[in-house]
Amino acid sequence: MPSALPLADPAPADGLLPASAADGAADRTLSVYLHVPFCRVRCGYCDFNTYTAGELRGVSQRDYPDHAIAEVAFADQVLRSSGVPARPVSTVFFGGGTPTLLPADDLARMLGAVRDTWGLVPGAEVTVEANPDSVTASSLQVLANAGVTRVSFGMQSAVPSVLAVLDRTHDPARVPLAVQWAKDSGLNVSVDLIYGSPGETVADWDRSLDAAIAMAPDHVSAYSLIVEPGTAMARKIARGELPEPDEDLHATFYELADDRLAAAGFHWYEVSNWARSEQQRSQHNLAYWCSQDWWGIGPGAHSHVGGVRWWNAKHPAAYAERVLGGVSPAVGREALDADTQLLERVLLEIRIADGMPVEVLPASARPRVAGLIADGLVEGPAAVQGRLILTRRGRLLADAVVRSLID
């Protein structure tokens, strides 16, 4: 492993990838992420690359789909020129921000551009993140008609006081309605939950789990609240206006979620994700965790193709200027060396229920697996058979497990 942190290389204006990026591409799938960097209000805990209307410096939300579509065309050209073989897209994900702030027709148009450019594999998963407030029965139907297969609702909590701490403005009563509309349109449904908000009790969390399970979604993501530096919430905690998160309590919340979801017929398949069946796992997110190729469209979006990662200019105005000028929107990138790719593989694959093959580890690290078994962090029988799969305790200590496996 390199001893110093890798510095990002400058990203070339033409976006061209090194020849190594094409190696083995035929064995990898291609996914597309489309970022929609708009929100009606900014939530106090959120550090995503998103902007309210007042922060857009003259770029219009209305023009954005065209900017994104311009990058789709640019991406196609870069992949061709770099010798990466053409592949139809396996998964598409609209994330944000709040994608459903854009008219459903705009999202449909963006998806159409992806389809027209690369094609979609049969049964491709197409997900849209949605705020329960910004969808209607008809807008969901428009999305379904356009080829969207899955919608992921930012439910976060069913408890008004917890939603208030998170600055979430939706009415919790609207969530079951939105979920039902989505189901009625034939969409798979996932709900996102956040636990460990300042002041949230175990009873509050249990109530949110009740509510989520009662809606019978196909998939649940549950994230512990991470207080990101620079957010309004971090400032409130620094000023003592909100209590600091208690990681031990987070562990209790996690165990409760795992118990309740398992009892309701969900299986964990990644540290923070549970699905009713293998088919209902998020194929798009699995592509991230299995180091497939994915192109991130939009301001601040990250991409990965064949061991090269890059990221775009963050502000929609700067982004627009680049893509409209035919210049790569990327502002930084890194070509991962073999050691770094191995490190990433360990840190990503260890998180999923399928685990990772023991033989991926360097010979020097393999004996340490015995200690992880003894400490109850990885499943013993699976390890003996050659796969590293985290126990529940191991999931809660996944970062420590990774640190103990790398040197």
Partner 1 sequence: MSPRAVTPRQPAATDPAFIRNFCIIAHIDHGKSTLADRMLQLTGIVDDRSMRAQYLDRMDIERERGITIKSQAVRMPWEVDGEAYALNMIDTPGHVDFSYEVSRSLAACEGAILLVDAAQGIEAQTLANLYLALENDLAIIPVLNKIDLPAADPERYAKELSDLIGGSPDDVLRVSGKTGVGVEKLLDKVVRTVPAPKGDKDAPARAMIFDSVYDSYRGVVTYIRMVDGKLSPREKVQMMSTKATHELLEIGVSSPEPIPSQGLGVGEVGYLITGVKDVRQSKVGDTVTNAAKPAAEPLAGYVEPKPMVFSGLYPIDGSDYPLLREALDKLKLSDAALVYEPETSVALGFGFRCGFLGLLHLEIITERLQREFNLDLIATAPSVIYEVTTDDGKTTVVTNPSEFPGGKIQAVSEPIVKASILTPKDYVGAVMDLCQSRRGSLEGMDYLGPERVELRYTLPLGEIVFDFFDQLKSRTQGYASLDYELSGRQTADLVKVDILLQGEQVDAFSAIVHKDKAYAYGVMMASKLRELIPRQQFEVPIQAAIGARVIARETIRAMRKDVLAKCYGGDITRKRKLLEKQKEGKKRMKMVGRVEVPQEAFIAALSTDQSGRDEKK
**What is the binding site for partner 1 (CB under 8 A)?**
1-3, 5-6, 33, 222-224, 226, 247-248, 250-252, 254, 271-272, 285, 288-289, 294, 296, 300-304, 309, 311, 334, 340, 343-344, 347-348, 351, 375, 377, 395-400, 402-403, 406-407
Burial class, 124, CB count within 10 angstroms (exposed 0-12 / middle 13-18 / buried 19+)? buried
What are the residues facing 365 on neighbouring strands?
none
Residue placing its CB nearer to partner 1 in the complex, 116 or 246? 246
* Residue 134 or 341 with smaller CB distance to partner 1: 341
Residues contacting residue 224 through CB under 8 Å, at least 6 positions apart: 194, 195, 196, 245, 250, 253, 254
Q: What are phi and psi of 88, to 5 degrees?
A: -70, 155
- Rounded to a whole number of angstroms, the minimum distance from the CB of residue 270 to partner 1 is 8
| Residue 111 vs 286, nearer CB to partner 1 | 286
Q: Which is nearer to partner 1, 180 or 252 (CB)?
A: 252
Q: Of all helices (H) and strands (E), which one includes residue 377?
A: none
CB nearer to partner 1: give 104 or 350. 350
Closest to 392 measured CA to CA, from 351, 361, 357 = 351
Cα of first residue to Cα of last residue in the chain, in angstroms, is 7
User: Which of 93, 102, 113, 94 has the alpha carbon at shortest distance from 64?
Assistant: 102
Shortest distance, position 225 Cβ to partner 1, whole Å = 8
Q: Is it true that the peptide bond before 97 is cis, omega within 30 degrees of 0?
A: yes
Contact indicator for 317, 59 with CB cutoff of 8 Å = yes
Nearest distance in Å: CB 247, partner 1: 5
Q: Rounded to the nearest whole angstrom, what is the least distance from the CB of residue 116 to partner 1 in the complex?
A: 23
Backbone angles phi, psi at 24, to 5 degrees: 70, 10
**Short-list 192, 205, 193, CA closest to 246:** 205
CB of 399 to partner 1, least distance (A): 5
Residue 388 CB, nearest approach to partner 1 (Å): 15
Residue nearer to partner 1 on the CB measure, 134 or 252: 252
